[in-house]
Amino acid sequence: MEVPRPIAAVREMVDEAARRSPARLTLAAFAGIIAIFTGLLSLPAATAGDRTTSFVDTLFTAVSAVCVTGLTVVDTGTHWSVFGQAVLLLAIWVGGLGVMTLASILGLAVSRRIGLTQKLLAQAEVGSRGLGEVGSLIRVVVITSLTIQGGIAALLVPRFLVLNESTGEAVWHGVFYAVSSFNNAGFVPTPEGLVPYVGDWWVCLPIALGVFVGSLGFPVIFNLARHGWRFRHLTLHSKLTITMSLAVLGATTLLLGAMEWTNEDTLGGLPADQRVLASIFAGVMPRSGGLSTIDVGEMHEASWLLTDAVMFIGGGSASTAGGIKVTTFAILLLAILSEARGDRDMEAFGRRIPRETLRLAVAVTMVGTALVLVATLLVLEITSLSLDKVLFEVISAFGTVGLSTGITPDLPDSAKYVLAALMFAGRTGTITVAAALALRDRRRVIRYPEERPIIG
């Protein structure tokens, strides 16, 4: 069947742009998705009652939803209508799939095939090694996402019914929290959020589990589905992701629980069993979940600093989480360990890790650090807020987490634009942003003689 000329022309333009700079094409596609949802949230039907929303607040909310962050400048439960909340839920789901995977799905829908460029983009997103697998992997991504979110909703809806919510409310809240948790979005459909359920294991555990699974990444989920929990059969990426995720989760839970145990404004006023649950929940959420059962703004400054570190690390690669990723952090730790031992190679789980991986990890970390530093300086200059609160909010935006000390709604418009840009950069990836800004790859014919400078 002959393709109409306009569609063929558009396809040629897209393929040419993808060949020249796939990173820029990815950013443009993602920006287009944000523009669409900004337009939808600007409709009168999106707000409740006679409320109006400024452009900056609409754009900020759309970026936060598509980038699955969760920072908000208006109350989601009261400001947006049912239609507006449905738009947010769709934006969260689309953003959680990953822009590269979404680009492949759109390409398949238009041309009924996946071209080489789209396969390469999807391969990078889902971690596939064979181009022939990508078409089926994209379908599995969608099916897996819907299945896990459906399972979480199936656990939550009966509990909300038991808590005397109407059938409609229970279903809506169950679905909303399922999508928000698995996609690490941090949005809540009610003004009080999850605070009333601080001691409810039936509500908190499925949500925490959804956040943890979503933060592992689709490559790890596929690997686990194929090999189960036979750890020795998993790929090195899966082993590093699972090991480091559990280590970060355990350390965060214990440290936050210990630091906040006697804080009457957070854990101190709760019974012991509820403190344990709240500590576990608080340990999971900085990975990129952004949901909270306690008042983050009342936590100790030491707890904020610990949360900053965990938010910056983030979750797994090709996941719904942000940050520099746990595998990046693991590579940096392995490099330090190998240097301390005097080993020539970095090794983990019986595998040697190439030096190029370390270079990439350092680049990702440094670009992320630079983005956080610049954004923090800008917000400090724009506002008169203290460094601890500004740094927390900035890292939450970069890591697409959504936890907040409560200052975001009151920020000046210019500061909101800074955080919106940071959420965009954090979701699309630091290396993608850096590659999109590069004019071209440098190909060196001549290599200079090697000489080592003094380090340390």
Residue 246 has pLDDT above 70, yes or no: yes
Higher pLDDT, 64 or 10: 64
Give the residue-averaged pLDDT of 301-322. Answer: 92
Question: What was the pLDDT predicted at 1?
Answer: 46
Quote the tokens at residue 4.
């109409």
Residue 140 has pLDDT above 80, yes or no: no
328-356: pLDDT as tens digits: 999 999 999 999 998 888 999 989 998 88
Give the residue-averaged pLDDT of 162-183. Answer: 95
Residue 416 has pLDDT above 90, yes or no: yes
Residue 430 has pLDDT above 80, yes or no: no
Q: Is 117 left (phi over 0), alpha (psi -120 to 50) or beta?
A: alpha
Residue 413 has pLDDT above 60, yes or no: yes
Q: How far is CA 194 from the centre of its chain?
A: 20
20-51: pLDDT as tens digits: 555 666 677 788 999 999 999 999 999 998 88
Report residue 8: phi and psi, to 5°: -65, -40
Residues contacting residue 193 through CB under 8 Å, at least 6 positions apart: 291, 292
Q: How far apart are CA 122 and CA 58, in angstroms?
A: 30
Residue 82 has pLDDT above 90, yes or no: yes
Question: What was the pLDDT predicted at 100?
Answer: 55
Quote the tokens at residue 225.
């589905």
Q: How far apart are CA 406 and CA 305, in angstroms?
A: 16
Sketch the domain layout of the chain as residue ranges.
5-437
Alpha-carbon Rg for the chain in angstroms: 22
The beta-carbon contacts of 1-4 under 8 Å, at least 24 apart in sequence, are 3/111
Beta bridge partners, 353, equal 346
Residue 110 pLDDT class (50, 70, 90 cuts) = very low
**What amino acid is encoded at 209 in this protein?**
L
